[in-house]
Amino acid sequence: MTSTGIGAAVRRKEDHRFITGKGRYTDDINRSGQVQAYFLRSPHAHAKIKSIDTQEAMRKPGVIAVFTGDDIAADKVGGLICGWMIHSKDGTPMKAGPHPALAQGKVRYVGDHVAVVIAETLGEAKDAAEAIRVDYEVLPAEVDTSTAQRQGAGVIHDVAPDNTVYRWHLGDKAKTDAAFAAAKHVTKIDLTNNRLVPNPMEPRAAIGEYDTGDGVFTLYTTSQNPHVARLVLSAFIGIAPEHKLRVIAPDVGGGFGSKIFIYAEETVCVWAAKKVGRPVKWTSDRTEAFLSDAHGRDHVTHAELATDENGKITALRAKTIANLGGYLSTFSSSVPTYLYAPLLSGQYDIANIYCEVDGVYTNTTPVDAYRGAGRPEATFVVERLVEAAARELGQDPAKFRRKNYVKSFPHQTPVIMTYDAGDYSASLAKAMEIADYANIGKRKRESAKNGKLRGIGFSSYIEACGIAPSQAVGSLGAGVGLWESAEVRVNPVGTIEVLTGSHSHGQGHETTFAQLVSERLGVPIENVAIVHGDTDKVQFGMGTYGSRSGAVGMTAIYKALDKVIDKGKKVAAYVLEASAGDIEFKDGKFSVKGTDKTADFGAIALQAYIAHKFSGQELEPGLKEGAFYDPTNFTFPAGVHICEVEVDPGTGITRIDRWTAVDDFGVVINPMIVEGQVHGGIAQGVGQALLEGARYSAEGQLVTASYMDYAMPRADDLPSFHVGMTVTPCPSNPLGVKGCGEAGAIAAPAAVINAITDAVGHEHVSMPATAETVWKACQRAPQKLAAQ
Amino acid sequence: MYAFEYVRANSVRGAASALAKHEDGKILAGGHTLLPTMKQRLASPSALVDLGSIKDLAGIEQRGRSLLIGAMTTHAAVAASDVVKTSIPALAEMAHMIGDPAVRNRGTIGGSIANNDPAADYPAACLALNAIIVTNQRKIPAGEFFKGLYETALEPGEIIVRIAFKPPSRAAYMKFRNPASRFALVGVFVAKKGSDIRVAVTGAGNQGVFRWKAAEEALAKRFNPKSLDGLKADAGIMNADIHASADYRAHLVAVMTQRAVAKALGK
Amino acid sequence: MSYTLTVNGRERRVESGDPDQPLLYVLRNALGFTGPKFGCGLGQCGACTVIADGAPIRSCQLPISATKGMKITTIEGLGTAEKPHPVQAAFIAEAAAQCGYCTNGMVMTSAALIAQNPKPSLDEIKQALAGNLCRCGTHDRVLRAVLRATGGQKK
């Protein structure tokens, strides 16, 4: 390992600009002649729009244009799309209602886009928006996940009269039911996976621009995947063909899934830029972000686990209702289906699994992928069930888990996935050691002396990441391929630019990817620049989500580097006057096998460009190679997190005393960055477990639409983390990497709730486990208090 | 936000006359509450009268037995003041618990009590310490000053000049934070001055800050947390919202009061 | 109206028709200091923090009219990549930034803290940073960085 190669804790290259205020985010960009857009949003959760009168608004000072859904429709600009087709169990396709960028005839959630005002200043645009007269016929709102399908519920989309997008299932029902019938013991649990607001600190923003000279649109946007945005805006929404649309996603201040999607605002800004002939800028304010960034989670689940007389798990079944909100967002349909149910085997060898999922419309903000996307929901189901089963059977939760782990690989689950590698018992053992599980009884007694309740909770999670083989996802309904592309440009002086379709918005790609290049080409890391986020620079890409940048994006770079090295060998053969088959490349040097003849990488790069040593007929000049990489399987990061809490029974406050995370991410490129990603995931998972929850009033008003009402984890809410690693290299990519971005968010909620329920001696505590919720659980479990 | 006239006052008198000119003019004390409200277009005063330049409105002074704090004194100044720490340490501690450093650097004691947010900390301190609110027109005892949610005894054009506290023999503030806003979900300020014992509760009441008389009576017999064992606050007067039920708030009032008494006793 | 304020050691004059225009917009749009970020506009997230006369303030809540005579330091004036402020250097050493958006507020609040309190305890640092939201979950690293900048160490 070199000091900057694979496995080194290289400090982040990008931090030099971030810590000096020189990052360049979309809102930091201002274009000459730019005007401001402001969206008039629906104050009602569900209403017919009888009429919109924009006359008065048009006359307000500074106003350049006011557009409604009719204007967009007149330009034949299409609606927003959902790119993953899910079929119901009866074979019918999902019921996707129309999703216009500006409402046409109806609004379906508070914050839905009714009209846009474009004015010289934001203040003028807001003033004018207040002068738009909208005549609404307010309809009853459906906000509740579990009741949206009931008889007599208000119909949100005509195409789905029972508000049901799909009734989907996975697994063998008959076999699973038979296993339950034969079970010695059945554990049952009802769970709510609370709705979350993603809240990247950078609000979404967009600048649309149109160049009349060459007819090219440019969109600056806060996106995790600018190429996907271009594809959708071109091929589906119809703004402009791809060669006439450039999408730039500069520094992006966090995404967590919410910036994957193609939203109304950027669609309208880029479309309107041509209409008004000036660049159009929109920056979300925080209230808009709460109302219009796609939310996460929001499941209601009943789940059961069957065990035999030996405490072996024999079957799992679950019925989930997933709230998809008022419209189907870009990938929303896949999250509670293929990103959820295939993970219900967890780390366990379970022969029979059956899961039914109903996706429902409600008059709430659309719900889509949020850090972990489906996998946190699955882990919460599995790990709460397993914990409850262990307690019901009177078994130690660690032993019960170990007994039921998958122990040989590859392992085919009954729900699609083939786990390729792992050692779950090793992670468990290491985590138990770090967490000092052996002495938990003693620590509980210490806490009890101080009037506190201590509890410990495990979460043995698995995720399917590196999303993933195009053929596989295609067969499951994805509308796109999920490969990644890279190009390695070696300059004549030997410096290197790597163009990647992955996008970095906190993950540190500029460092990690450069480490790979530094290691393989033996060049200083300073000589490597990672370029991303601009469709004019990077030819293709599928972007960053699903912990895929390492396993897929970096492997594309790896393959392009292979080609660079191969080409370099050919050049070196001419330079060193040997046959190409005798050239070796190691540590930045080309050499002739069995001789002392060598040439530096930089020297060969120069020779490739000056091309004096070979004829253009024999070898193409230059040293620049590209590659597309499509993986052969998902990757399966897995690990064990152990959360230890202390509850104050007087107030119900839960303090996380210590946190142990032992993760198997395969080969780790930069342990410092990986640990940071783990911390971040845990922080979001702890937020979900203890603090966060989007709440709607019965009328469909989001009552948690600010930081005064929606609790975000802060410095003093979080413990120190003890992070350990185990490594089983991933066999499906040459680097052996698995992905780490989502692990913490997937593992954490179950660990926290398992710890709290252990502390208070109550079978279940719902999320978020606020102080009041926990206090109430303490009231319901007095025997435990008395016992301690 | 909407357009408005901005007036920088150089004296209390000047501020008062500016307010008299603008019927729905508002005082800008630190701006931490008013400006966000205006930005969200929830308030639209025709004029803002900024008190920030009036020098003698800020400052802390021990005058005889009275601790005097100017209305425009920031929370940070109160929290850091040796005068306050010596005179009423619980008050300095309470000021340090408000918001975060940026809020404490801009927010003022006068702004806080004039706004009378039902979850603000200062109203509890004023009530428990039996403070006198001195305005440009009169002196108002805290007990008569706070009139419900965001309501005070202040008349239009009346400006708080300073707050006068009489140091107690023992006092403590216990705050149970709303994890989102960090305002008090329940805050209890307990003060003992001779036989006068006051328990003031913020964050919990559905009519804003209030004195929990039953606890005061129990503590008058013996100033000890044990005196409150089994004493329940009335959930009927508590606020209920998405952050906490009335029952839970009532429970927390009792718990926080006991803990405040213990803290006041140095336990 | 025209306003004169000192930003990063230089006197700057800006025109504004709105006396209540928040300092944040003046810095970002009129003066080109885009280091301070818009996160919520309501003083609730800390991304816009600058140091005014030695104290951290929310620049989204400070009207331009109230900045008269103030000495404002933005993150651009704190240090450079070549000569970073100790807090900035520590943020790199501890990899305390992820997406970089809240980093401005974290750095500025921390720098103001250690200017007033050169040896803060871990709890004092946590309390000082309680008003700075970070969604990447860098809190643990930020705390380590501030301790490092003050010569302390997190266990």
pLDDT digits (tens, 9 = 90+) for A277-308: 999 999 999 999 999 999 999 999 999 999 99
Q: Per this entry, what is the length of chain B?
A: 267
Q: Per-residue pLDDT tens for B16-54?
A: 888 888 877 888 887 777 777 777 777 777 888 888 888
Q: d(Cα C10, Cα C13) in Å, to the nearest integer? A: 10
User: Do C100 and A713 count as a contact with CB atoms less than 8 A apart?
Assistant: no
A415 and A381 both lie in a single domain? yes
Residue A12 lies in a domain: no
B45 and B86 both lie in a single domain? no
In the structure, what pLDDT confidence band is assigned to residue A480 with cuts at 50, 70 and 90? Answer: confident
**Chain A contact for C37 (CB, 8 A cutoff):** yes
Q: Which domain holds residue A377?
A: 299-467+633-787
Other CB atoms within 10 Å distance of the CB of residue A420:
20
In the predicted structure, residue A61 carries a pLDDT above the cut 80: yes
B92 and B182 both lie in a single domain? no
B132 and B66 both lie in a single domain? yes
In the predicted structure, residue C78 carries a pLDDT above the cut 60: yes
Residue A488 lies in a domain: yes
Residues of C in contact with A684 (CB under 8 A): 135, 137
A525 and A604 both lie in a single domain? yes
What percent of chain A has pLDDT above 90? 93
Q: What is the pTM of this model?
A: 0.96
Q: What residues contact A555, with CB distance under 8 A and at least 6 apart?
A: A484, A629, A631, A733, A734, A735, A737
Residue A444 lies in a domain: yes
CATH number, domain with residue B61: 3.30.465.10
| Burial zone of A425 (CB within 10 Å; 0-12 exposed, 13-18 middle, 19+ buried) | middle
Lowest-confidence region among A306-310, A417-421, B154-158, B211-215:
B154-158
**Chain C contact for A508 (CB, 8 A cutoff):** yes
Four-CA torsion A433, A434, A438, A440, nearest 10 degrees: -160
CATH number, domain with residue B15: 3.30.43.10
Q: Per-residue pLDDT tens for A104-158?
A: 999 999 999 999 999 999 999 999 999 999 999 999 999 999 999 999 999 999 9
A590 and A642 both lie in a single domain? no
In the predicted structure, residue A314 carries a pLDDT above the cut 90: yes
User: Do B181 and A126 count as a contact with CB atoms less than 8 A apart?
Assistant: no
Four-CA torsion B28, B33, B39, B44, nearest 10 degrees: -60
Q: Choose the closest CB to C131 out of B4, B31, B101.
A: B101
A239, A274, A292: which is the final residue of a domain?
A292
Q: What is the pLDDT of residue B121?
A: 97
Q: What is the pLDDT of residue C155?
A: 55
**Chain C contact for A254 (CB, 8 A cutoff):** yes
Q: Per-residue pLDDT tens for C88-130?
A: 999 999 999 999 999 999 999 999 999 999 999 999 999 999 9
User: Do C55 and B36 count as a contact with CB atoms less than 8 A apart?
Assistant: no
A655 and A574 both lie in a single domain? no
Q: d(Cα A738, Cα A728) in Å, to the nearest integer? A: 9
A292, A316, A350: which is the final residue of a domain?
A292
In sequence order, what DSSP letters do the residues of A601-643 get, joined into one string?
Answer: HHHHHHHHHH--SS-TTTS----EEEEEE--SS-B--EEEEEE
Residue B244 or B33, more confident: B244
End-to-end CA distance of chain A: 52
A391 and A313 both lie in a single domain? yes
Q: What residues contact B266, with CB distance under 8 A and at least 6 apart?
A: none
Four-CA torsion A550, A554, A559, A561, nearest 10 degrees: -140
Q: 3-state DSSP call for residue A3?
A: coil
Q: What is the pLDDT of residue B1?
A: 61
A92 and A235 both lie in a single domain? yes
Distance between C125 CA and the closest CA of chain A, angstroms: 9
B165, B195, B214: which is the final residue of a domain?
B165
Q: 3-state DSSP call for residue A321?
A: strand
CATH number, domain with residue B218: 3.30.390.50
Q: Per-residue pLDDT tens for B163-206?
A: 999 999 999 999 999 999 999 999 999 999 999 999 999 999 99
User: Do B102 and C109 count as a contact with CB atoms less than 8 A apart?
Assistant: yes
Neighbours of chain A (3+ CB pairs under 8 A): B, C
CATH number, domain with residue A240: 3.90.1170.50
In the predicted structure, residue A657 carries a pLDDT above the cut 70: yes
Residues of B in contact with A703 (CB under 8 A): 242
B10 and B61 both lie in a single domain? no
A207 and A104 both lie in a single domain? yes
B190 and B141 both lie in a single domain? no
B141 and B185 both lie in a single domain? no
In the predicted structure, residue A267 carries a pLDDT above the cut 70: yes
Which domains can be identified in chain C, with CATH numbers?
Answer: 2-77 (3.10.20.30), 86-149 (1.10.150.120)
Lowest-confidence region among A512-526, A564-578, C12-26:
C12-26
B72 and B118 both lie in a single domain? yes
A613, A629, A645: which is the final residue of a domain?
A629
In the predicted structure, residue A785 carries a pLDDT above the cut 70: no
A210 and A273 both lie in a single domain? yes
A49-65 average pLDDT score: 98
Q: d(Cα A62, Cα B240) in Å, to the nearest integer? A: 44
Q: Choose the closest CB to C58 out of B4, B6, B102.
A: B102
Residue A247 lies in a domain: yes
Distance between A21 CA and the closest CA of chain C, angstroms: 4
Neighbours of chain C (3+ CB pairs under 8 A): A, B
- What is the pairing mode between strands C71-73 and C2-7? parallel
Nearest to C106 by CA among C69, C144, C68: C144
B74 and B160 both lie in a single domain? yes
Give the mean pLDDT of chain B.
93
Q: 3-state DSSP call for residue B47?
A: strand
Q: What is the pLDDT of residue A1?
A: 53
Q: 3-state DSSP call for residue C29?
A: helix
Residue A473 lies in a domain: no
Q: d(Cα B241, Cα B229) in Å, to the nearest integer? A: 27
A514 and A620 both lie in a single domain? yes
C-alpha distances (whole Å) from A538 to each of A239, A486, A529, B55, C29 are 20, 8, 13, 59, 30
Q: Which amino acid is at A570?
A: K
Q: State ipTM.
A: 0.97
Residue A402 lies in a domain: yes
B78 and B179 both lie in a single domain? no
Q: Which domain holds residue B82?
A: 55-165
B187 and B156 both lie in a single domain? no
Q: What is the pLDDT of residue A786?
A: 41
B147 and B130 both lie in a single domain? yes
User: Do B255 and A772 count as a contact with CB atoms less than 8 A apart?
Assistant: no
Residue A193 lies in a domain: no
Domain count, chain A: 3
Q: What is the pLDDT of residue A788?
A: 39
A737 and A647 both lie in a single domain? yes
Joined tokens for residue C35? 């280091």
**Chain C contact for B43 (CB, 8 A cutoff):** no
B14 and B69 both lie in a single domain? no
CATH number, domain with residue A509: 3.30.365.10
Instruction: Scan for tokens 């308030």, then name that residue.
Output: B43
Joined tokens for residue C50? 């600058």
Distance between C6 CA and the closest CA of chain A, angstroms: 18
A135 and A246 both lie in a single domain? yes
Other CB atoms within 10 Å distance of the CB of residue B232:
12
**Chain B contact for C1 (CB, 8 A cutoff):** no
Residues of B in contact with C131 (CB under 8 A): 99-103, 182
Distance between B179 CA and the closest CA of chain A, angstroms: 6
A283 and A308 both lie in a single domain? no
Domain count, chain B: 3
Residue A430 lies in a domain: yes
Strand partners, A217: A210, A245
